[in-house]
Amino acid sequence: MIAIERLLLFYGSPSSVPFDWNEALIAFVTAFGVAAAVTLVALPLIVKGCQYFKFYDLPDGRKVHKTPVPRLGGMAFMPAAIIGLSAALYTYGDTAQEGITVSISTLLMASGAFLIYMIGIFDDRFGMKAVHKFIIQAVTALFLPLCGLMISDLNGIFGLHEIPLWVGYPLTVLLIMTIVNAINLIDGIDGLASGLCILILSAYTYVFAVNDALMIASLCAAIVGSLAVFFLFNFFGRTGGYKIFMGDAGSLFLGYVCAYVSIKSLHRPIAPVNCGEEQMLISVTLLLIPVLDVARVAVQRWLTGHNIFAPDRTHIHHLFMNVGLSMHWSLAAIMMLFLSVCGINFALWQAHFLLPVILAVDIAIYAFVVTVLLRMGAKDEEE
């Protein structure tokens, strides 16, 4: 029973019991290592299974790859994360383990993660219409505010503090769906979604750790461990060998986790009264690139009269490749853009700039990069 309760802590509340950093580091390393080991064993089996049953991501005019590639790699993420988290929980001292609790809210949120994970697997195997996936995403997104995990305080951003439920509920659902689709749609070249999520969840591991939320931090560390192994297979794997894509099972699950931790980090006791705006800045900074990209593409499709659910080649990784960069150099460029935004935001915050000003600078940087890429791409086409 204790083991089951620890597994259900997937979306548990942070423990109020003090802990020491030696114990925390052991837990994080355990979560990372065990999840990585599980993924290392699972991925070759998934690749062989996909090859045997011919479950491939087939190339077309929109996709970057030119040969069929197995696409069920994301199946390994959730099991590896749960096993890694469970192993980490067993390293905690008796005092810390007493802080473990399971509630109806915990079960409901874990159910949302499991549902979106299973829908991703179904879509990878049989395919689903985008509108159907969108509806299911809305349902799973609603699970979080139903558990009380929602945007209820803007911490003075644009002069706004506490917001009413009738605004908080749709705002939270919209934010979750945006993040889920942002991670899903940016998964267009080798290593991009996994690489960004490694950086994002590594940062959240630290954020939750320093705020005494060991279990959530361990969850993030476990997913990072699984992603690190997947990155090697995805980025360095040879087509026809052990190369594999994460598919929707992986990207939707990662998007849901990123949405969860970004909102959870804004809630007390994670975000004390005197650092709510700082915590909001962290979430905005970490998710800015994928969220801005999906918003830009959706608005562009709508303005040009295209279906916003229809796939195309207008995402930022496509723009980098359109100017002549290889897939690997496009990945490097986007990662550098991500790290540059993080550095700029940190510097601006240290200089006491307000969050709206920092956000405006971020949008200007993104718009400048996209504009330059579009003009360079158009010039190349003319030549």
CA 60 to chain centre: 26
360 located within any domain: no
For residue 162, give its domain range. 2-308
Lowest mean pLDDT among 25-39, 151-165, 209-223: 151-165
User: Stretch 359-373: mean pLDDT, rounded?
Assistant: 95
pLDDT for residue 14 is more than 70: no
Residue-level pLDDT at 278: 80
pLDDT digits (tens, 9 = 90+) for 152-199: 777 666 667 778 888 888 999 999 999 999 999 999 899 999 999 999
Confidence at residue 307, expressed as pLDDT on a 0 to 100 scale: 77
**Model pLDDT, residue 107:** 74
Q: What is the pLDDT of residue 243?
A: 93
CB 155 within 8 A of CB 161: yes
pLDDT of residue 62: 62
Lowest mean per-residue pLDDT among 102-106, 200-204, 259-263: 102-106
User: Which two structure tokens, joined as six digits, stand for 33?
Assistant: 């290592």
| Cα separation, 264 vs 89, whole angstroms | 20
pLDDT of residue 184: 93
45 Cβ contact list (under 8 Å, min separation 6): none
Residue 379: the pLDDT is 65
Q: What percent of the chain has pLDDT over 70?
A: 84
Would residue 383 count as lying in a domain?
no
Tokens standing for residue 337:
């853009």
Amino acid at 174: L
Domain count, the chain: 1
| Token digits of residue 286 | 């970490």
Q: Residue 373 falls within a domain, yes or no? A: no
Q: Minimal CA–CA distance to 322: which of 197, 199, 188, 183?
A: 188
**125 band by pLDDT with thresholds 50, 70 and 90:** confident
pLDDT of amino acid 11: 34
Would you say residue 45 lies in a domain? yes
| Spatial distance between the Cα atoms of 349 and 213, rounded to a whole number of angstroms | 24
pLDDT at 8: 35
CB-side neighbour CA atoms (13 Å) of 270: 28
pLDDT for 255: 96
What's phi and psi for 124, nearest 5 deg? -60, -35
Q: Mean per-residue pLDDT for 107-128?
A: 88
Q: How high is the mean pLDDT of the chain? A: 84
**Residue positions counted in the chain:** 383
Tell me the C-alpha distance between 206 and 189, whole Å.
27
pLDDT of amino acid 382: 54
For residue 128, what pLDDT is reported? 87
Domain membership flag for residue 380: no
Instruction: Flag whether pLDDT at 59 surpasses 90.
Output: no
Q: Report the SS3 class of residue 55.
A: coil
Among residues 196, 151, 195, the alpha carbon closest in space to that of 173 is found at 151
CB 82, CB 7: distance < 8 Å: yes
Torsion of Cα atoms, 347 then 176 then 37 then 10, to 10°: 110
Are 188 and 196 a contacting pair, CB within 8 Å? no
Rounded to 5 degrees, what angle do the CA atoms 247, 219, 135 make?
A: 45
- pLDDT the model gives residue 303: 85
d(CA 124, CA 250): 10
Please report the pLDDT score of residue 306 as a whole number: 80
User: Of the candidates 228, 234, 259, which has an alpha carbon nearest to the alpha carbon of residue 247?
Assistant: 234
329 domain residue, yes or no = no
